[in-house]
Chain A
Amino acid sequence: MAAEDAPPAPRRPDPAETSDEPVGSGPPARTRVVLAEVSRRPHWPAGTHTELTQQTRVGEALIRGLVRAQLALALQLSAVVLVGLGGLPWLFAVAPSVGRMTVLGVNLPWLLLGVLSFPFLVAVGWTYVRLAERNEQDFTDLVQRPER
């Protein structure tokens, strides 16, 4: 049970913030409640890669690659929705006969919009979550490989 939505108070440093983050072993690290001002310095555990944390050219290139991959994925799936759903008003406008078709006594537009669009959206979302997590896994493997 949780009480969230406490009024954000960005200028008040949180005690949880200033304490040191546990690194590596022990209980899983706490989730930090951080508000804008106090949270500009990401804490990078010692085990992660100097390329990333120290903003070397290699690290920069790595993260750029990941961002590009994730953005491309998001854009591709948006295109699927854009065509799949966004094409419908246009389709109904240029081919009114499609709008008049009935399936099981229900007009096709009602069926497509009122019922089928929701599972379609969920399916696209599910695909995204899977592929985005795979992208991140690939990235993690790439970054951690030299050390293992």
Chain B
Amino acid sequence: MGNDLVVPAIVAVTLVTVAIGFYGLRLARTTSDFLVASRVISPTWNAAAIGGEYLSAASFLGVAGLILKYGVDVLWYPVGFAAGYLALLLFVAAPLRRSGAFTLPDFCELRLGSRRLRTLATIFVIFIGWLYLLPQLQGAGLTLATLAGSPYPVGALVVGVVVTANVALGGMRAVTFVQAFQYWLKLTALAVPAIFLALQWQADGRPAVTPPDGSTFRTATTVVVEQRAVLTLPDGQTREVRPGDELSFAEGEPVPEVSGVANGATDWLLPNDAGSGDRGLFATYSLILATFLGTMGLPHVLVRFYTNPDGAAARRTTLVVLALVGVFYLLPTIYGVLGRIYTPQLLVTGQTDAVVVLLPEAALGAGTTGRLLAALVAAGAFAAFLSTSSGLLTSVAGVISTDVLGRGSVRGFRLATVIAGVVPVVLALNVSGMDVSQVVGLAFAVAASSFCPLLVLGIWWRGLTDAGAAAGILVGGGAAVTSVLITVLGPALTGWPAALIAQPAAWTVPLAFTVMIAVSLATRRRAPADIGRTMLRLHAPDALRS
């Protein structure tokens, strides 16, 4: 654990982020600068900034952890996280930019002219924002605990406090340059070690990822169990382990099978087949739906589109984001796969999210190279926590200060930031056992069942009414929120109820669309009178506008 380079690397990233934030703020703080900036910033820079804000702890740590644990079936997470931008591009990007709406509540009011709907949207923005902030803080706690040996709450508290203070003091107003820098830092921090890891794997004689007689420990390993599980030892005995148990394995000893993890080669390597039942297929499709349609409803994603000068630029920017994010998502798979060889102990401890930060030292040894690369990865991970949390916190605090506190003053914004920051920190200190990517997946499910129908129908269908929109958000989004609360707080379920609750999108998204359309048809008279103008404004080509 004693990598003395990790803490300096993390501190450096934090300081650079704060410093660029303050410096950039001084350069661009008036409305006119804002206006000018949106014209000079090229789609490429803008896209890097959007990608920088988007690639969170879930992408940086969580995806690799899930792949290590569950294998091929969870490759749908990175595919879906990227494909979300395609859905955004196809249905939302250009019209939303032309609408002039800055946040989702703005869009509600602009399209449907209802203040009550605006309030409802505000509540959902806050909920999704908090749900998304939670795993960022968890990831921070985990990273510091793994690499620097600090207790779990320290990392969560540090990131929570740094980001809250920074946003409240105005230092990190999601300056385009900072976010773009974070994207390239994150990409480098995964790509460079990945090259070294691949070379090391070659040098080790390309050990099989799924050896026919099971994985073995490459070195003598002692693990401390973090999650309750049942181990099946090679001789067929089972043993229940609890958090805190210490287990020792000799070099070459086979890795025990762990309950709740894809163990065997077929399980991990092959998609869930007919044998595992329809539930696996349902979960896969549900996940696909949530991630494909959820991205457009994330509060910190939409705000960024405002930097584009017009609708056509918004489209081109989204396309570049899709490409940048796609390049990034090639990398976590490498970590998940090699983690199977070099860090099998994580399967036993349950801390699979730590694979990205542990793998460099595990594979390359604790020499200078290994330690440097581990520090680089840790720096990238912190860039992920800081950028995503800052973007989310800014969005959540923005809606709290304008729509809940009702004042747009700086002091109100600061108060709102503190409120917005404290809640997820408290939650993060109490929830540590969940996979980072799974919590994020739930946030996507809520966004897909509330804001996705609102945006898609609001942009493309003249018949949407405020009553229909509110009913759809309440029923569909409410069902998704209930599922999330049951998953996080409720008792463990089995069978179909578990599948329906753990990945709710496959039923909550169609439900939200159906209710929204049905209620809109029933309340046809409430459709806004100026809908023709609004449609014109959303869809007329930029060339005709100015």
The residues of A with any CB-CB pair to B shorter than 8 Å are 1-12, 14-16, 21, 28-37, 39-40, 42, 44-45, 48, 52-53, 55, 59-60, 63-64, 66-67, 70-71, 74, 77-78, 81, 85-86, 89-90, 92-94, 96, 99-100, 107, 109-110, 113-115, 117-119, 121-122, 124-126, 128-129, 132-133, 136-137, 139-140, 143
Distance between B301 CB and nearest chain A CB, rounded to angstroms? 12
- Mostly, the A contact residues are helix
Q: From known contacts A2-B307, A6-B34, A10-B109, infer whether A118 and B326 are also in contact, taking CB-CB under 8 Å.
A: yes
Contact A31 B312 (CB under 8 A): no
Candidate in A3, A53, A118, A132 with the most chain B CB atoms within 10 angstroms: A3
Contact of B173 among A4, A9, A34, A40 (CB under 8 A): A4
Residues on the A chain within 8 Å of B271, using CB: 89, 92-93, 96, 99, 109
A31→B330 CA distance, assembly (Å): 36
Residues on the B chain within 8 Å of A15, using CB: 31
Q: From known contacts A74-B91, A110-B75, infer whether A45 and B546 are also in contact, taking CB-CB under 8 Å.
A: yes
B120 CB within 8 Å of chain A: no
Contact B326 A122 (CB under 8 A): yes
Contact of B175 among A2, A70, A117, A118 (CB under 8 A): A2
Contact B38 A2 (CB under 8 A): yes
Contact B408 A124 (CB under 8 A): no
Residues on the A chain within 8 Å of B105, using CB: 36
New A-B pairs, 20, CB < 8 Å, besides A8-B106, A129-B319: A4-B303, A5-B173, A5-B304, A6-B173, A21-B546, A30-B35, A31-B309, A32-B35, A35-B101, A40-B110, A40-B530, A63-B539, A74-B91, A89-B285, A113-B72, A118-B326, A119-B326, A128-B89, A128-B90, A132-B94
Contact A3 B173 (CB under 8 A): yes
Contact A35 B102 (CB under 8 A): yes
Distance between B540 CB and nearest chain A CB, rounded to angstroms? 7
Q: From known contacts A39-B100, A42-B533, infer whether A52 and B274 are also in contact, taking CB-CB under 8 Å.
A: no
A97→B177 CA distance, assembly (Å): 48
Q: How large is the interface on B (under 10, 10 to 19, 20 to 34, 35 or more residues)?
A: 35 or more
The residues of B with any CB-CB pair to A shorter than 8 Å are 24-25, 27-29, 31-35, 37-39, 41, 72, 75-76, 78-79, 82-83, 85-87, 89-91, 94, 100-103, 105-107, 109-110, 118, 173-177, 269-274, 281, 284-285, 288, 303-304, 306-307, 309-310, 312, 315-316, 318-319, 322-323, 326-327, 329-330, 333, 391, 394-395, 397-399, 401-402, 408, 413, 416, 460, 530, 532-533, 535-537, 539-546
Q: From known contacts A118-B329, A126-B319, infer whether A140 and B270 are also in contact, taking CB-CB under 8 Å.
A: no
A24→B285 CA distance, assembly (Å): 50
A20→B167 CA distance, assembly (Å): 34
Contact B31 A107 (CB under 8 A): no
Distance between A60 CB and nearest chain B CB, rounded to angstroms? 6
